[in-house]
């Protein structure tokens, strides 16, 4: 089971040296991948439809962040968890992801979702209520742009006429993961994606995974694909847990069917990149000793 770690972008210093040092430390600790999430901006927490979260908190743009990290690492993979795709132009997102995949030697996993906060959609001039229909088109178009040198596509929201992106990603595509837990998400994963980022509402209870995972596997089988081909990523929180409890939670998730396990050091009262690095190194070492992951 590959082990990942969330870049603590809400907590540490934003200086380039701290970001680079964290990425190098994650790779040296033996992590397989790093995760970063996507907020185009922080809105006023009193605004309707916004999760209460101070707008002054640091939010690195994940694709640019990962390009920087890729330059100082050689093995660490990068997973957006998740990139809110519907407000973005599909062709540009495909181009950016392909470029990052090329420059990182194929180390990008693109995790995407429809988003749940309206203000960024308004600011980017995209109808929030069409986000589900938009992402359906985006997934098809982006795969096509990665796989073929010339693409023609006509949809409700996207149109390409005999054009393509170059360079295209190594291996012919960028692995796609999707976040969420609704039936529509499982249907999209079955038809378009390589993995599922477990919805936050399930991350606290490995025992609750069985039902949704069975539903996902049914959809994947209906689409003519092997359920075992779909990755399943979840998180273990440092906050409120000793390192032994963190490792125990990781083992429980592995037994429940998770294929990828990500440590989240945010929200644990850690201050500075050094404290986060120490916590993630301790967890990775204990996991190796316990035979978890790897």
Q: What is the DSSP string of 124-175?
A: TT--GGGHHHHHHHHHHHHHHHHH-SSEEEE-SS-EEEEE--SSPPGGGS--
Does the pLDDT at position 207 exceed 70? yes
**Separation of alpha carbons 263 and 246, rounded Å:** 9
Instruction: Tell me if 261 sits within 8 A of 254, measured CB to CB.
Output: yes
Average per-residue pLDDT for the chain? 94
| pLDDT tens-digit map of 126-165 | 999 999 999 999 999 999 999 999 999 999 999 999 999 9
> What is d(CA 79, CA 112) in angstroms, rounded to the nearest whole number?
10
Summarize pLDDT for 76-117 with one digit per residue, the tens.
999 999 999 999 999 999 999 999 999 999 999 999 999 988
The predicted structure's pLDDT at residue 242: 98
Q: Would the CA dihedral through 139, 142, 145, 148 be positive or negative?
A: negative
Q: What pLDDT shows up at residue 56?
A: 57
DSSP for 240-280 reads T--HHHHHHHHHHHHHHT-SEEEEE-TTS---SHHHHHHHH
Give pLDDT tens digits for 244-261.
999 999 999 999 999 999
Would you place residue 293 in the very low, low, confident or very high pLDDT band (cuts 50, 70, 90)?
confident
Q: Examine the pLDDT at 52 and tell me if it is beyond 60.
A: no
Predicted local confidence at residue 235, as pLDDT = 97
State the Cα–Cα distance between residues 24 and 155, nearest whole angstrom.
42
pLDDT at 10: 79
Question: Residue 97 corresponds to which tokens in the numbers above?
Answer: 């992801």
**Sign of the alpha-carbon dihedral angle for 11, 12, 14, 19:** negative
Phi–psi pair at 228, nearest 5 degrees: -65, -15
* CATH fold of the domain at 14-231: TIM Barrel (3.20.20)
Q: What is the pLDDT of residue 13?
A: 66
pLDDT in tens, 55-87: 556 789 999 999 999 999 999 999 999 999 999
What would the mean pLDDT of 195-219 be, rounded to a whole number? Answer: 95
> What is the pLDDT at residue 126?
97
Any idea what DSSP says for residue 37?
-
């Amino acid at each position: 089971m590959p082990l990942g770690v969330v870049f603590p972008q809400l907590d540490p210093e934003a200086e380039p040296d701290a970001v680079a040092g964290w990425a190098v430390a994650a790779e040296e600790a033996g992590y397989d991948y790093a995760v970063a999430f996507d907020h185009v901006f922080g809105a006023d927490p009193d605004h309707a439809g916004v999760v209460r979260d101070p707008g002054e908190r640091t939010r690195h743009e994940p694709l640019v962040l990962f390009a920087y990290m890729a330059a100082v690492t050689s093995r660490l993979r990068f997973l957006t968890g998740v990139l809110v795709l519907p407000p973005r132009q599909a062709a540009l997102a495909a181009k950016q992801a392909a470029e990052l995949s090329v420059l990182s030697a194929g180390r990008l996993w693109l995790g995407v979702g429809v988003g749940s906060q309206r203000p960024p959609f308004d600011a980017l001039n995209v109808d929030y209520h069409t986000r589900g229909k938009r992402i359906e088109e985006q997934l098809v178009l982006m795969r096509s742009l990665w796989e073929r040198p010339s693409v023609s596509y006509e949809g409700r929201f996207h149109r390409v006429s005999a054009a393509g992106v170059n360079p295209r990603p190594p291996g012919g595509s960028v692995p796609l993961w999707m976040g969420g837990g609704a039936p529509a998400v499982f249907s999209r994963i079955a038809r378009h994606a390589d993995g599922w980022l477990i919805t936050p509402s399930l991350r606290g209870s490995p025992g609750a995974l069985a039902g949704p995972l069975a539903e996902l596997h049914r959809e994947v089988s209906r689409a003519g694909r092997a359920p075992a081909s779909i990755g399943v990523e979840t998180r273990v929180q440092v906050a409120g847990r000793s390192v032994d409890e963190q490792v125990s939670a990781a083992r429980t998730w592995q037994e429940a069917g998770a294929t990828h396990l990500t440590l989240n050091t945010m929200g644990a009262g850690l201050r500075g990149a050094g404290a986060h690095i120490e916590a993630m190194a301790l967890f990775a070492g204990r996991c190796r000793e316990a035979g978890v992951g790897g």
